[in-house]
Amino acid sequence: MESFNRRRFLATTGGGLAGILATRIPPARGQQREISYLCWNNFAPNSDKKLAEIGQRFTRDTGIKLRIDHVSHMGPQQAKYAAEVQTQAGHDLVEMRMHFPWLYEPQLVDVSDVVGELEKKYGKALGSSYEGAHVNGVWRAVPQYHGMFVATYREDLFKQAGLKVPDTWEDLYVVGKELKKMGHPVGIPISQNYDSISTAGPVLWSFGGMEVDKDGKMVRINAPATAQMIEWYRKMFRDCMEPEVLSWSDASNNESIQQGKAGWIHNPVSAYIVAKQRKLVTADGINHHRSLAGPHGRHETDTPRHIGIWKFSKNVEASKEWIRYLLGKREVYDEYIMSGDAFNLPTYEKLQDHPVLRTDPKYAALRGEGVQYHTYGWPAPPSDKVQLITNTYLLPNMIAKAVTGTSTKDAMAWAETEMKKILAG
């Protein structure tokens, strides 16, 4: 074999470099497009595996290299996003939840073109996704999927005790009393977590109340509707629940029903999915029904997710290509949704009766749902102020104060003062 001496090496590399400089075209490797995508650890782990698989196919089909990173959604996610924005460096795409597109509005690329294409194909994005990602007339993130809050209950216990499946929050109080007597209390967290808000919001709306008005300017929490809602919580806490709900985390109500304690919880279908995957004895007895109504109708909430592209990304077009590949190709989007086992549901109108809902009869309650769902803080338009009201857990804290001894009037006055301070700030 011919030896590769220093002189030959210099001649080859020098010649090559001169050639590149002369043509003024970077070498192929330098032209390879590469994007990075930061998303959360999905509650349905198979969904993350599928995403990685789709990512590999995307690279093969388009030549765009994709790196997918995951981060836990409670805590590290927001710190990571804040750090990326402050340093103007990091990932190209990020998965967003709640009102993130509003918080990071000036930092996000306008993706109205991509959403327009998706809506043309799949119908309008659902209300909750619109509320979360459509910021001041511009789509700042692309609606990806959502997870609905429905009622998860122990159908076997209900049948055993001859209990009627509730349709209203008042019905729940009636069956809740019986469930507690049976040693299977209702599990609604009243603590500093998002599940607490996900129930408190719909209950408040169903009683005709709101935190802030639809203009986002006036605090409306101190109202007769709120008092009614608090009274409902007070009697639920006393007669249907255990004091442990005051310290629950987002996972506690799931764990409670999976372990066989709770008889009814308000949650997306993740409790059932996990029970089924882990082959827990409670899995067979669990079923779902739609979220409950109050004197002012049925109002529900969910957890919409979106994909945003940072403005500091050097690969905006390649990033859009990835979104189009994942969400815009029906067969790929279906494949992705199916992997989430009905936890991640399509967030476009024409896809509401998705095949994933027919994979298990216990997803029947989800069919046709989602259209009327809202994000936290509704009817106020999302903003950093509404986000702070949410993040400081004023709604569940107001309820927690009331159920632990503070008068309804004082609890409402406390929440009103805190909310007014935030709106004024």
Partner 1 sequence: MAVRANEITVPRGRPGAAARVRQWLDGESVLGPVFVTPALLLLLLLVAYPFVMAVYFAMSNAFIGRPSHWVGLRNFIALWDSDIFRQTFQNAFVFTGISVAFKVVLGITLALLLNEQLWFKRMIRGAVLLPWVIPTALSTLGWWWMFNSLYSVVNWTGIAMGLMDPPGPNWLGQKYYAMAAVITVNVWRGLPFFAITILAGLVSIPRELYEAAEADGAGANARFWHVTLPLLKPVLAVVVLFSTIFTFSDFNIVYVLTRGGPITSTHLFATLSRVVGIDTGRIGEGAAISLYLFPLLVFVVWAQLRFVRKQVY
Interface residue list for partner 1 (CB under 8 A): 75, 78-79, 82, 85-86, 103-104, 106-107, 191-193, 242-248, 252, 255-256, 259, 261, 384, 387-388, 391-393, 397, 400-401, 404, 414, 417-418, 421, 425
Nearest residue to 302 (alpha-carbon basis) of 269, 277, 274: 269
Nearer to partner 1, 169 or 393 (CB): 393
Which structure tokens are listed for 367? 């069919």
Taking the complex as a whole, the smallest distance from the CB of residue 168 to partner 1 amounts, in Å, to 27
Q: Which is nearer to partner 1, 56 or 86 (CB)?
A: 86
Nearer to partner 1, 168 or 192 (CB): 192
The number of helices, as runs of H, and strands, as runs of E, in the chain is 18, 15
Residue 147 Cβ, how far from partner 1 at the closest point, in Å?
A: 20
Nearer to partner 1, 105 or 341 (CB): 105
Of 257, 264, 143, 250, nearest to 197 by C-alpha is 250
For the chain, report the end-to-end CA distance as a whole number of angstroms: 76
- Give the shortest CB-96-to-partner 1 separation in angstroms: 13
CB of 341 to partner 1, least distance (A): 24
CA–CA separation, 416 vs 404, rounded Å?
19
Strands 65-71 and 93-97: unpaired
To 5 degrees, how large is the angle CA 38–CA 254–CA 387? 50
Give, for 374, the enclosing helix (H) or strand (E): strand 373-374
Q: Give 170 or 384: the residue with its C-beta nearer to partner 1.
A: 384
Q: How far is the CB of 408 from partner 1 (least distance, A)?
A: 15
Tokens of 108: 């996000």
Please, which residue, 193 or 287, has the CB nearer to partner 1? 193
| Beta carbons within 8 Å of 43's beta carbon, 6+ residues apart | 147, 268, 270, 273, 343
CB of 351 to partner 1, least distance (A): 31
Residue 421 CA, chain-centre distance (Å), reads 27
The H-or-E segment that residue 54 falls in is: helix 45-62
DSSP reduced 3-state for 250: coil
> What letter would DSSP give residue 178?
H
DSSP state of 281: T
Is 293 strand, coil or helix? Answer: strand
Strands laid side by side in the 150-154 sheet:
186-187, 264-267, 150-154, 286-289
Would you say 62 or 391 has its CB closer to partner 1?
Answer: 391
Strands 150-154 and 138-139, how do they pair?
A: unpaired
| Shortest reach from residue 240's CB to partner 1, in Å | 16
Q: Which residue lies nearer to partner 1 by CB, 219 or 246?
A: 246
Rank residues 119 and 242 by Cβ distance to partner 1 and give the closer one.
242
Contact 65, 59 (CB under 8 A): yes
- As a 3-state breakdown, the chain gives helix, strand, coil percent values, each rounded to 5, of 50, 15, 35
Q: Is the peptide bond before 396 cis (omega within 30 degrees of 0)?
A: no
Least distance in Å: CB of 421 to partner 1?
Answer: 5
Taking the CA atoms of 156, 157, 160 and 163 in sequence, report the sign of the dihedral they define: negative
Q: How far is the CB of 101 from partner 1 (least distance, A)?
A: 12
CB 113, min distance to partner 1, A: 23
Rounded to a whole number of angstroms, the minimum distance from the CB of residue 106 to partner 1 is 6
104 or 158, CB closer to partner 1? 104
Nearer to partner 1, 12 or 404 (CB): 404
